[in-house]
Chains A and B, each alone.
Chain A
């Protein structure tokens, strides 16, 4: 008799795969890459200029220009960073490796072209006081940075760490040499050096990517066909905008800012401590990369393959617990290491400031900034784990509140007076980190349930 029974075979073999696994590997790009690059650029550029140039005003102009270039290019490409990373991760998961190169080049081109047309009028109109050449260099540097941020999406997956580090080293060495040789010629020469170095970096990275991802096509715009997650587009923007929100507010608030060049302003009181504080999270960053991207990622992979490839429930429970344990260890260790650093820096900050010849007036702000940047690192780690678990909704909400809180509380801190500067940023991070921990805890409690039932 021809019954349905005969069809059962097809039905079971249809076992839907875990969509969650697709997310694998798109957390690294959250921020660690661009973040390191930008902090290093800003500080190195500043110090180099300071050592070789006598004119303090030009140094400030150069440093502020670079800060703006990085901030605006990061925010501009933020719509793409996460969603496009996910797009690439999905293609890797589907084993459609030949889709990667053309779409990556497509996305780089897309961002650079739009970046160029977005920034060019801005540079011409708002920063015209420095001259047309400056505006052009500003535009080119911005465009090349946009390209680098998008290329960064696949860097962590390439595993060619030596070549990548060498590229960065060579590019920054080039900047150093150029600044040393032509720096005396003024702001435009400094900016040209910055551009040349980053252009070289961009081409080195692009070359590596083209070599590593074979494809029969060069450029494609498949990623624009609705294959990127809308929530990630906004999450990327919220996060980047939030990270820079307090800085921009301080740069443009009349009480805390000063004019530098054209439209560009800075905040003499706010900027130095916070960028120094960012330097201090380098050790925590290393722990983050090691614990989250290595230990946790491995446990994560084990858990989902156990679930997918027919392990017993007992084994699935065990792998799940190991994964949760790995996440816990990562978060605790980041807090622990970074707290030691923070405490040490607080204790030794006076001698350090004296040694660097910086006014002690900055100290209270520096303390709170140390706490804030530590929290930012912690928050970043939480987000990374959530990305692995594919909690797009939670991450969307958290980053949205990070932006709203940072804007609101930063304004409030300015109203409350200099003693509260920096507290807005720190408090907003404290709130979203706590909320993030709460959500992650909930997710882990429901881990197996969500893994199996919600598909």
Chain B
């Protein structure tokens, strides 16, 4: 559904998967900054959601230069039709087998041409054929029998269907979009796939920025997914192996990740480690590039004056209350820290509606550990209100890209203690270049899922005011040198200009 189209040429079309403008979060903020930061460029957004009922209203004030907004759902009922008996053609399904073999290959090999073509999905092998044809059934059966003959067939069957159906939905969405100059996706996944199809078919430049590594995040989702019943018996299960169905999802996301990497140029990451992972997942090294996020430094500078003389004994975790943020480890660390520092407080600032069960578990844990006086769930808050009252900004995530809140915290003069994920160590210890490292540490980085290390770091910073102040000044210096909005926007302006120039040549 097209929400609006202001009849102006779209310079940059952003494909947002489950983020802007319906869900708040790191990526959404990033998109919002990009658009508001370049008022002379016209942006369009294609929002890809899972199902209509999973989303509420638009939560951002849409900028004037957002000239186009389209909202699409990948798993909804809108793409369904009446089942009918179909035979399908053997010739076509040979193509599918070839594709599957390509996806399964470990080493890099040239991508089959047909998957780049929208017509392949809309005309050659239609969604109807995928869903209902006898050929498709034969493939599903034989794949099941050769890979996971011991698992529940019904689960396997629906996994295959649910996983692949969106491919056709994406193709049909792609076929309707036409006028834009550049397509830019902030992730691989289905959004990256849409970007790739648009790029291939309309011969337009496709820019990929990965905040986290989508493929890896899905892998974490899958490994944590208790909703996929593993019905292997204890005898069938070798220690450390994961069920085929989980593996299928992981392989699938790796597969469509490859397509995104093939199509995109440049492939941008936020920090050096992420760039290396992209290369490991199949991105051509010469196409990769690091562009860190930036913040509006003036806004955060002001916050420093609002700080009280005394360091507030408040540790703030800004982030959605979801498993990937590992809020529970933070809560446990707070228990240890509170034993030492009686007036310590932990604030959890972020929406709890995304995974209500998990949020409930967290609140229960707070109660069980007797932390009711130490931990507050504040829901969504303006960071400007929170940061001046914060002594340490923390993240206990098991996965992160480049967490904007850490940079914002630095801007406002708040040191950070985080787990060793994403770009955190680069942010806290410095890592962009030699100069950056010389600045020194702006907090501390600890291993993931380790409450006691986390607590020790809190205690160390609170009990040693000199150290805290040193970290604060390092943080401010680092953010003002490397992570400002000017640097960030300039980088992207150049990338857009370059993309258009290269394309016109």
Contacts and interface: CB of A to CB of B under 8 A. Distances in A.
Interface string B1-33: 000000000000000011100010111100000
Interface stretch (B134-142, B445-453, B459-467): B134-142
A450 B27 CA distance: 43
Given A4-B189, A452-B157, 5 more contacts: A3-B18, A4-B50, A311-B153, A448-B141, A449-B134
B211 A310 contact: no
B56 interface: no
Contacts, number: 120
A9 interface: yes
B427 interface: no
Contacts of B19: 1-3
B183 to A, nearest CB: 18
B107 to A, nearest CB: 26
A7 B154 contact: no
Given A4-B49, A5-B218, A453-B132, A310 B153 contact: yes
A315 to B, nearest CB: 8
Among A5, A8, A449, A454: residue with most chain B CB under 10 A:
A5
Given A11-B162, A310-B155, A312-B153, A1 B83 contact: no
B158 A12 contact: yes
A386 B151 CA distance: 30
A360 interface: no
Contact of B137 (A308, A314, A453): A453
B498 interface: no
Given A3-B187, A6-B18, A11 B154 contact: no
Contacts of A310: 152-155, 229, 231
A86 B407 CA distance: 64
A4 B27 contact: no
Given A12-B159, A313-B149, A4 B229 contact: no
B108 interface: no
Interface string A230-266: 0000000000000000000000000000000000000
Interface stretch (B96-104, B220-228, B410-418): B220-228
B483 interface: no
Interface of A: 1-13, 15, 307-314, 316, 446, 448-450, 452-455
Interface of B: 17-19, 23, 25-28, 48-51, 54, 74-75, 83-85, 131-134, 136-137, 141, 144-145, 149-155, 157-159, 162, 187, 189-190, 211-212, 214, 217-218, 221, 225, 227-229, 231, 249, 253, 320, 322, 354-355, 401
A78 to B, nearest CB: 28
Contact of B131 (A1, A312, A448, A453): A453
Contact of B154 (A3, A15, A446): A15
A263 to B, nearest CB: 46
Given A10-B51, A310-B229, A450-B85, A3 B189 contact: yes
Contacts of A452: 137, 157
A12 B161 CA distance: 10
A2 B354 contact: yes
B211 A1 contact: yes
B482 to A, nearest CB: 22
A4 B227 contact: no
Contacts of B355: 6
Contacts of A455: 83
A11 B253 CA distance: 16
A5 B83 CA distance: 27
Contacts of B136: 453
Contacts of B137: 448-449, 452-453
A307 B152 CA distance: 9
B231 to A, nearest CB: 6
B18 A7 contact: yes
Contacts of B25: 1-2
